[in-house]
Amino acid sequence: MSYSELTASMFSFWRNLNIPRAVSGTAADLFFLPRQTSALYPNRKCSGKRYNVPPSAEFVARETADGLDAAFIGVPIDTGTSNRPGARFGPRQIRVESAMLRSYNSGTRAAPYESLMVADIGDVNVNVYDLKDTCKRIREAYRKILATGCIPLTMGGDHTIAYPILQAVAEKHGPVGLIHVDAHADTSDVVLGEKIGHGTPFRRCVEEGLLDCKRVVQIGLRGSGYSADSYEWSRAQGFRVIQAEECWFKSLAPVMAEVRGQMGSGPVYLSFDIDALDPGFAPGTGTPEIAGLTPIQGVEIIRGCRGLNLVGCDLVEVSPPYDTSGNTALTGANLLFEMLCVLPKMKYY
Ligand SMILES: [Mn+2]
């Protein structure tokens, strides 16, 4: 087995990636690093020196999406969180845990790496000192990614990132349908006096006309709110709101059949906050709420998106410090894999 075959089998999300490996931060990467030669990686963007020089930790943006049908992208911020931080480490941990994923989906028989050109293109070069500047950087990065025709599969990062991503998505596709899976509506006007944060992205999206509000569904909402009916505003915009209570003890396959009808053939964006799942399954997140969805229901939602015109997906709010087992990030990696497996043009073996 060659080095490249070995690493491809070890790191599912790193497949086809022409970047230095040291930045992923595993012992295996560091161990293998001195063995890499330009002969094995003729196209890699190295330093041009005899020995590989990893990119500066100050600038983490790495690869373009040219030639890709779909790409995993990290957006490592938590400066939009209102309480417990840590989501900036989400992409890193999801990548590490993605080493446990294999190439085929035995449940749906999807063969993603035989259907689409897919790669992990690294992280958006965010500014963790300045959330508004970060939003600008995300928007510009996604404009470039979307311009190539690539479908972004984003690893968050806190939920703030959905706002600039959807700005870029709507610029390309017009107002999109949204399947928003979350414990929270994220439609507050302000949180802590600020308009931009992880509790406000979808309010900003509506204000800017980025969403086709009759084609928006929010699934899994629950917990305590700031007002008697926190979700009144969502419903007033025309969103369909499916509380977690409506999901308890049920398969979500029938609901997703309705959602597919609601979405029709227009462009759809899927935004999945890991806190939609019950914290018993996914404790590694900043704002857990009890009595949430099961991983089975999460998978049912994603598999229920098969056939839709998905133009982008994200999995946000994984905060590894709150689950040092890595299992929340592993669940996130699996959900991202499921998203990949329902993208348009997927072949099933
Ligand atoms: Mn959220």
pLDDT grade, residue 40 (50/70/90)? low
- Rounded to an integer, what distance in angstroms lies between the CA atom of residue 296 and that of residue 252? 9
Q: For residue 226, how far is its CA from the centre of ligand 1 (angstroms)?
A: 15
Q: For residue 249, how far is its CA from the centre of ligand 1 (angstroms)?
A: 23
What pLDDT, on the 0 to 100 scale, is given for residue 207?
Answer: 98
29 annotated ligand binder: no
Is residue 62 one of the residues assigned to a domain? no
229 annotated ligand binder: no
Q: What digits encode the pLDDT tens for the residues 62-114?
A: 678 999 999 999 999 999 999 999 999 999 999 999 999 999 999 999 999 99
Query: Looking at per-residue confidence, does 242 or 229 come out higher?
Result: 242
Domain containing residue 156: 70-340
Is residue 24 one of the residues assigned to a domain? no
Is residue 296 one of the residues assigned to a domain? yes
- Rounded to an integer, what distance in angstroms lies between the CA atom of residue 200 and that of residue 186? 5
Beta pairing partners, 267: 309
What pLDDT, on the 0 to 100 scale, is given for residue 94?
Answer: 98
Specify whether the CB–CB gap between 69 and 340 falls below 8 A: no
What pLDDT, on the 0 to 100 scale, is given for residue 41?
Answer: 52
Closest by Cα among 209, 207, 203 to 189? 203
Beta pairing partners, 347: none
**Which token pair is 326?**
């890595």
Specify whether the CB–CB gap between 45 and 18 falls below 8 A: yes
Specify whether the CB–CB gap between 304 and 252 falls below 8 A: yes
Specify whether the CB–CB gap between 78 and 86 falls below 8 A: yes
Is residue 172 one of the residues assigned to a domain? yes
Q: For residue 162, how far is its CA from the centre of ligand 1 (angstroms)?
A: 9
Is residue 346 one of the residues assigned to a domain? no
What pLDDT, on the 0 to 100 scale, is given for residue 228?
Answer: 78
Is residue 348 one of the residues assigned to a domain? no
Is residue 19 one of the residues assigned to a domain? no
Q: Taking 80 as the threshold, does the pLDDT of residue 34 lie above it?
A: no
Q: Taking 70 as the threshold, does the pLDDT of residue 311 lie above it?
A: yes
- Cα angle: 259, vertex 341, 202; to 5 degrees: 45
Q: For residue 73, how far is its CA from the centre of ligand 1 (angstroms)?
A: 18
Q: Taking 60 as the threshold, does the pLDDT of residue 200 lie above it?
A: yes
Beta pairing partners, 236: none
- Cα angle: 287, vertex 220, 347; to 5 degrees: 110
Which residues are in the CB-under-5-Å shell of ion ligand 1? Answer: 159, 182, 186, 273
Across the chain, what does the average pLDDT equal? 89
- What spatial distance separates the first Cα and last Cα of the chain, rounded to whole Å? 25
Q: For residue 262, how far is its CA from the centre of ligand 1 (angstroms)?
A: 22
Q: What digits encode the pLDDT tens for the residues 118-131?
A: 999 999 999 999 99
* CATH number for 103: 3.40.800.10
What pLDDT, on the 0 to 100 scale, is given for residue 28?
Answer: 36
186 annotated ligand binder: yes
Q: For residue 89, how far is its CA from the centre of ligand 1 (angstroms)?
A: 16
275 annotated ligand binder: yes
198 annotated ligand binder: no
Query: Model's pTM, two decimal places?
Result: 0.87
Average pLDDT over residues 142-169: 98
Is residue 257 one of the residues assigned to a domain? yes
Average pLDDT over residues 249-273: 98
- Rounded to an integer, what distance in angstroms lies between the CA atom of residue 176 and that of residue 181? 16
- Rounded to an integer, what distance in angstroms lies between the CA atom of residue 27 and that of residue 39? 23
Q: For residue 184, how far is its CA from the centre of ligand 1 (angstroms)?
A: 6
Q: Burial of 33 by CB count in 10 Å (0-12 exposed, 13-18 middle, 19+ buried)?
A: middle
Specify whether the CB–CB gap between 337 and 105 falls below 8 A: yes
Q: For residue 64, how far is its CA from the centre of ligand 1 (angstroms)?
A: 27
Which helix (H) or strand (E) is 236 found in, with range?
helix 232-236
Q: How many domains does the chain have?
A: 1
78 annotated ligand binder: no
Q: Taking 60 as the threshold, does the pLDDT of residue 18 lie above it?
A: no
- Rounded to an integer, what distance in angstroms lies between the CA atom of residue 260 and that of residue 94? 28
